[in-house]
Amino acid sequence: MFQVPWSEYSDALWEGLLKTLSYTAAGFIGATLVGLAVALLRVSSSRLLRTPAVLYTEVFKNVPLLAVIFLTYFGLGSIGLKLDAFQAGTLSLIVFYAAYLSEIFRSAIKGVHSGQQEAAEALGMKRISTFAKVVFPQAMRLALPGTNTMLVDLLKSTSLLVTISAAELMSQGRLITSATFRALEVYAVIAVIYFVLCYPLSQGLLWLERQIQVGTPLSVRRRRRLRAAKALLAQEVTA
């Protein structure tokens, strides 16, 4: 053990780490946007809109991510649609995790009590305004635990992109192993790096989830207003 000259491969590991974070950020942002759009189609009253959304969700929920990666990188390339490793890897993560996030968002939207919408409509609010200002903020709180889990899982799943030589951490680990023939040491170090990435992220998201559950606003501006209101209330009580 510990016979790999890590100083010689530090640049490669750093490059792999940045690539992993890039795949994670791009994949999660894209999957969140697509998943939210699919969820809105799922809760639509129109069957014409719901049907393709249901088909999309069911297909990608029941297909392995590795198969999606191969279809995106090799399959599309065979019909003339060439994507580089970053484009294919990011697209694979987006379409795969959007299916799961759409289910999380759909459940969260459905989880908001119908009385909330009825009360907003009774106050004269339009349908779009009711969803944006009443239903959606509450749904996002309900969706936060599942979304956090998907983010950590997506980060770990970037390791599957080693199959298309995506230059992320696992790909760099494979190259280092080929050069040093020290598979146990190299992959143990790669596993530790993933743990160092995922554990603080999961704990930080868990802390955020607890903060949101006790009523802390997401917006920095609203948090400032809340602190100012509490301070003013304390001054009045003291007086």
Q: What's the rounded Cα separation, in Å, for the pair 80 and 179? A: 34
C-alpha closest to that of 93 among 119, 70, 120, 65: 65
pLDDT of residue 217 exceeding 60: no
Tens digit of pLDDT for each residue in 26-65?
999 999 999 999 999 998 888 899 999 999 999 999 999 9
- CA–CA separation, 180 and 15 (whole Å): 19
pLDDT digits (tens, 9 = 90+) for 132-166: 788 888 888 888 889 999 999 999 999 999 999 88
pLDDT at residue number 5: 85
168-177, pLDDT tens digit by residue? 999 999 999 9
- Give the residue-averaged pLDDT of 96-121: 86
26, 65 Cβ separation under 8 angstroms: no
d(Cα 9, Cα 14) in Å, to the nearest integer? 9
Residue 218 has pLDDT above 70, yes or no: no
SS3 content of the chain, % helix, strand, coil (to 5): 85, 0, 15
pLDDT at 214: 57
The per-residue DSSP string of 79-104 comes to TT----HHHHHHHHHHHHHHHHHHHH
Average pLDDT over residues 8-21: 92
Asked whether the predicted pLDDT for residue 226 surpasses 80, the reply is: no
Could you report the per-residue pLDDT of 15-24, keeping only the tens digit for each? 999 999 999 9
Determine which helix (DSSP H) or strand (DSSP E) holds 189, and give its type and residue range: helix 183-213
Q: What is the pTM of this model?
A: 0.84
Q: What is the mean pLDDT of the chain?
A: 88
